[in-house]
Structure 1
């Protein structure tokens, strides 16, 4: 189980979800895992700051990203997430696109054996386009900013624990994460807290299935002007199911379904949606 990389590659830009494998395991030395991922969603169900549903014109986002893990040592893994392309737009506007915010991460395994425990620190760099204006199709003078990056430097810190139920091919993980956010154009962003659990099982010796439930809430004083497109003041419950099918020793394909809702934590300042993602994996294990 040490070499397993669970898949949770979603639209981190809108939902501020960490794209790392949130588990207690690290990669073995010189082992690696890379995935090229495509994600897409469309929604008209916006939840405001009070959690009330507002009908809008369809908002859509498409994204292409690269995610990778590399084992520096058996207990230290380097991780990166690179959003190569993000396209945003409303039904009533043109689509705008750009490069996203790059995330760099170091993950260290504190405990091994029965209950691997890891801690990771992940700075996210403001490499995306913080200002990217879409134009109303009916009125060129009416514009809305749909950036491909949030414009601020932030740092995720994650603590995760896992367990393999050997000799069965079942595993489970739990994690908590804190996102320290800074400012953009003298505007303070609210910090964020996430926690979640994941269960996975290997089928037919080639197919890994996984399911995850997580919540996100704000920490500290709420934002004066909540901004969904930058993930500010955003809370939600999220559920995902998906898997990876191994094609030989090095290649694989992934598929993931992801939904945001109010099942545990009320969805606020976010579009409730159904996200689909597909990826191609290259790995050494």
Structure 2
């Protein structure tokens, strides 16, 4: 059972979609480096859906870390590096007409936070609060944006329970943004089960709904790409797997897919990562 609890601590922080009530032990580090991609797409969710003027590939290289200040309190840091390509269609008189190729690599929204466990019996109840800094970049010629031009404050209430070779966790909260961006309501959860000696399989759900309370004015080129525009929302379901090579080292993979959305890519994403405990 002790080994199961250790694995659960790893499971709750393997992706941006996952928030769990488990905290790190005092003085312990958990680190993860991951790569996620939304491959070439030209369609965004909407009512109705709409096509952008070209194809975008959105890649993210991400470092995630947790540190146990005490057995009940954990510090969190998330550092995303975005690499976005945009093959922009152009109108020309002669044929063939080649697209204009744009590619930018820059920081996304750096996130820092704190998680505190305030109840720990059969169920665990924790609170988490994080801040995403306005550290992204915008390139007006291409319309590429690597994050929101805003600060984002995310309070969450998280609950979870471990079973024999399984766990369940859920969260509810909001994302509050500055600079006249709309804020979002956030809810979701996941169920994970150990299916072999070193392999876990997890199903997850993540939903964000916009409050439609912002009226930020964005440039035409940014609206044209749909990257980090206002009133983005989605519902995502997916699966992820965790393979443990040793007690403190392993690999993760996840495959989320949106079943609804507004102003987000209509394309399946893929994420892989490696983690290390210290």
Structure 1 residue runs of 5 or longer lacking an equivalent are 11-18, 134-142
Q: Aligned in 2, Cα 1:20/1:5: closer, same or farther, shift over 3 Å? A: farther
Listed as ranges, the gaps of 5+ residues in structure 2 are 89-100
User: Residue 222 of structure 1: CA displacement?
Assistant: 4.9
Q: Distance in 2 between the 1:241 and 1:230 partners?
A: 25
Q: 1:241 to 1:220 in 2, by over 3 A?
A: same
Does the Cα contact within 8 Å between 1:132 and 1:148 map onto a contact in 2?
no
Query: What's the offset of the Cα at 1:158?
Result: 0.8
Partner of 1:128: 136
Please give the alpha-carbon distance, in whole angstroms, between the structure 2 residues aligned to 1:179 and 1:132. 25
Q: Which residue of 2 aligns with 1:5?
A: 10
Residue 88 of structure 1 pairs with residue 84 of structure 2: yes
Instruction: Name the residue aligned to 2:161.
Output: 163
Q: Match of 1:214?
A: 206
Residues 229-272 of structure 1: CA deviation (Å, up to 9, x unaligned): 2252012110121121111122111111111122xxxx111112
Structure 1 pair 9–150 and aligned structure 2 pair: CA distance change class (3 A): farther
Post-superposition shift, 1:204? 2.1
State how 1:30-49 maps to structure 2 within 5 Å: 30-42=27-39, 43-48=41-46
Deviations 1:71-95 (A, max 9, x none): 1111101111001x21112222311
The answer to whether the Cα contact below 8 Å between 2:12 and 2:19 also exists between their aligned partners in 1 is no
How many residues in Structure 1 have an aligned counterpart in Structure 2? 253
| Pair 1:272 & 2:242 matched | no
Per-residue CA deviation, residues 3-33 of structure 1 (Å, 9 max, x unaligned), is 32226655xxxxxxxx274122111212221
Q: Distance in 1 between matches of 2:61 and 2:216?
A: 32
Aligned to 1:113: 121
1:139 is matched with which residue? none
Q: 1:177 to 1:190 in 2, by over 3 A?
A: same
> 8 Å contact 2:12–2:22 — kept in the other structure?
no
| 1:138 match | none
Q: TM-score, normalised by structure 1?
A: 0.82
Structure 2 counterpart of 1:54: 50
Q: Give the root-mean-square deviation of aligned CA atoms.
A: 1.9
Q: Is the 8 A contact 2:83 2:103 kept in 1?
A: yes
Contact 1:101 1:127 in 2 (8 A): yes
Inter-CA distance 8–61: structure 2 relative to 1 (3 Å threshold)? farther
| 1:190-237 Cα distance to aligned partner (Å, 9 max, x none) | 011110120001232321221111211012525465854225201211
Query: Which portions of structure 1, spanning 4 or more consecutive aligned residues, are displaced by more than 6 angstroms?
Result: none
Q: Is the Cα contact below 8 Å between 1:8 and 1:256 reproduced in 2? A: no
1:62-114 Cα offsets, whole Å, 9 max, x none, are 1111001111111101111001x211122223111211211001000111011
Change (3 A) 1:223 1:2: farther
Contact 2:111-2:132 at 8 Å conserved across structures: yes
Q: State the alpha-carbon separation in 2 of the partners of residues 270 and 162 from structure 1.
A: 29
- Deviation, structure 1 residue 145: 2.0
Compare CA radii of gyration and give the structure with the larger one.
2
| CA deviation string 1:88-141 (max 9, x = no partner) | 122223111211211001000111011101101101111222x224xxxxxxxx
User: Is the contact between residue 117 and residue 162 of structure 1 (CA under 8 Å) also seen in structure 2?
Assistant: yes
